[in-house]
């Protein structure tokens, strides 16, 4: 960490050039003897990525930022706060501390927090930033988190791990055994130092694969932000030997969506089916990731349009974990019939439909946006239909 970055003049330059053109800044350079222009640009790029994701860091003075990749890989404040509220106790150790956002929120719930980071420069940066943020109960350790456990007798209320994939597995199945640290391989070591483990994984991990690789899985939290699944959180309890529960959440600026189900309940549940009634419901991304297609029908007493459509309907408006629409019209998928609507602008979604949104827009000459919502889907009779709705 280059502490000269924190000089008043350098910090003022960074603040003044947050919205500047980066190539122009590189050409122009800067006249700071102990700080290279490339270091300054790295600070500017990383700080800009924090404006919405990490507003506490963005708004605070004398914060030092790592490279932008570290910012991209870290938890957002909204997800870090959510996961911290799942845990209670006196002590927690984060074996893969990174930029320290999760530990920042853990520090508000635990008396003693340990942040382990194998990258020494990043560890120094985090330690410095905690001082600026007035966080005094986090101990920063440089080095490998698992290696630290092997050399200590400390016992923690919780161990937290955010394993990273060793390589980009494009087109390949994602396994926890392919990550660092290798959690399945080290569960015995981890449970020597705690009875409770929280693991954060990418939403790309298939739930069934994670369950098969791990032991003592008590709960899986599927965390979406504004209808985009960001994290899977795996709660492991050494004393647990029961039915796995799945908690879904869609975090929004207000009125978060929640839906819970047990793994076995979904396997046993059976949906009821109906033609479109008065209201149409579209589950949010966390519910879809959970595969709660029949549980949601049974629990909330809504009817499915088709086994594979994942759209629901009923005649009474309910609180639903997703988007709700008042059904205005239901049409067969016929170009002439659709033309009679006179719709030239609409929000289009497809569910269990043979054509893409782009193909439909081109064929029907409908632009994106406006107040109309069109759902192209398949009903229980396997007919292709279009549902015209207004958002509630």
Q: What are phi and psi of 54, to 5 degrees?
A: -130, 70
What angle do helix axes 8-16 and 37-53 make, rounded to 10 degrees?
Answer: 60
3-state SS, residue 268: helix
pLDDT value at 249 more than 90? yes
What residues form DSSP beta bridges with 199? 161, 234
pLDDT at 170: 52
Long-range contacts of 238-242, Cβ-Cβ distance < 8 Å, separation of 24 or more: 238/191, 238/194, 238/195, 238/196, 239/195, 240/216, 241/216, 242/218
pLDDT digits (tens, 9 = 90+) for 262-299: 999 898 999 999 999 999 999 999 999 999 999 999 99
| Residue 374 · residue 388 · CB < 8 Å | yes
The residue among 296, 225, 291, 280 whose CA lies nearest residue 392 is: 280
Q: What are phi and psi of 198, to 5 degrees?
A: -120, 125
Distance of CA 155 to the CA centre of its chain: 29
pLDDT digits (tens, 9 = 90+) for 99-149: 999 999 999 999 999 999 999 999 999 999 999 999 999 999 999 999 999
The residues, ordered by sequence, that sit 6+ positions from 74 with a Cβ below 8 Å of its Cβ are 53, 54, 98, 99, 101
pLDDT at 26: 81
Prior bond to 265 cis, omega within 30? Answer: no
**∠79-205-207 over CA atoms, to 5°?**
95
Beta strands in 27-101 (DSSP E): 91-94
Question: What pTM was computed for the model?
Answer: 0.93
Average pLDDT, the chain: 94
- Average pLDDT rounded to a whole number, residues 198-226: 96
pLDDT at 169: 53
Using only the alpha carbons of the chain, give its radius of gyration.
25
pLDDT at 152: 94
3-state SS, residue 199: strand
pLDDT value at 301 more than 90? yes
User: How far is the C-alpha of 372 from the C-alpha of 248, rounded, in Å?
Assistant: 28
C-alpha atoms less than 13 angstroms from C-alpha of 21 in its C-beta half-sphere: 4
pLDDT value at 67 more than 80? yes
DSSP string, 201-236: E-TTS-HHHHHHH-SSEEEEEEEEETTEEEEEEEEE
């Amino acid at each position: 960490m280059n502490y000269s970055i924190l000089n008043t003049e350098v910090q003022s330059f960074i603040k003044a050039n947050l919205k500047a053109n980066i190539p122009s800044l590189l050409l122009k350079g800067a006249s700071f003897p102990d700080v290279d222009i490339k270091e300054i640009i790295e600070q500017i790029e990383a700080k800009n990525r924090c404006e919405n994701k990490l507003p506490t860091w963005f708004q605070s003075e004398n914060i030092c930022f790592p490279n932008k990749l570290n910012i991209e890989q870290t938890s957002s404040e909204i997800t870090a706060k959510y996961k911290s509220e799942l845990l209670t106790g006196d002590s927690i150790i984060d074996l893969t501390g990174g930029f320290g956002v999760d530990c920042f929120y853990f520090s508000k719930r635990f008396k003693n927090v340990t942040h382990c980071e194998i990258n020494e420069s990043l560890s120094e940066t985090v330690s410095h930033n905690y001082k600026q943020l007035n966080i005094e109960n986090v101990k920063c350790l440089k080095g490998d988190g698992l290696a630290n456990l092997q050399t200590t007798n400390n016992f923690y209320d919780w161990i937290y791990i955010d394993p990273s994939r060793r390589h980009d597995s494009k087109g390949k199945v994602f396994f926890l055994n392919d990550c660092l640290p290798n959690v399945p391989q080290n569960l015995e070591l981890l449970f020597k130092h705690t009875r409770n483990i929280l693991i954060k994984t990418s939403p790309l991990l298939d739930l069934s694969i994670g369950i098969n690789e791990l032991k003592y899985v008590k709960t899986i939290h599927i965390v979406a932000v504004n209808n985009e699944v960001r994290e899977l959180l795996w709660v492991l309890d050494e004393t647990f030997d029961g039915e796995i529960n799945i908690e879904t959440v869609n975090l929004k600026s207000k009125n978060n969506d929640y839906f819970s189900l047990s793994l076995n309940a979904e396997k046993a549940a059976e949906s009821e089916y109906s033609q479109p009634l008065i209201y149409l419901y579209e589950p949010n991304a966390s519910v879809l990731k959970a595969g709660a297609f029949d549980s949601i029908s049974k629990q909330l007493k809504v009817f499915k349009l088709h086994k594979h459509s994942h759209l629901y309907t009923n005649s009474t408006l309910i609180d639903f974990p997703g988007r709700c629409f008042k059904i205005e019209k239901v049409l067969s998928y016929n170009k002439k019939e659709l033309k009679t609507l006179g719709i030239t602008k609409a929000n289009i979604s497809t569910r269990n439909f043979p054509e893409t949104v782009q193909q439909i827009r081109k064929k029907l000459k409908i632009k994106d946006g406006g107040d109309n919502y069109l759902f192209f889907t398949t009903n229980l009779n396997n007919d292709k239909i279009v549902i015209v709705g207004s958002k509630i």
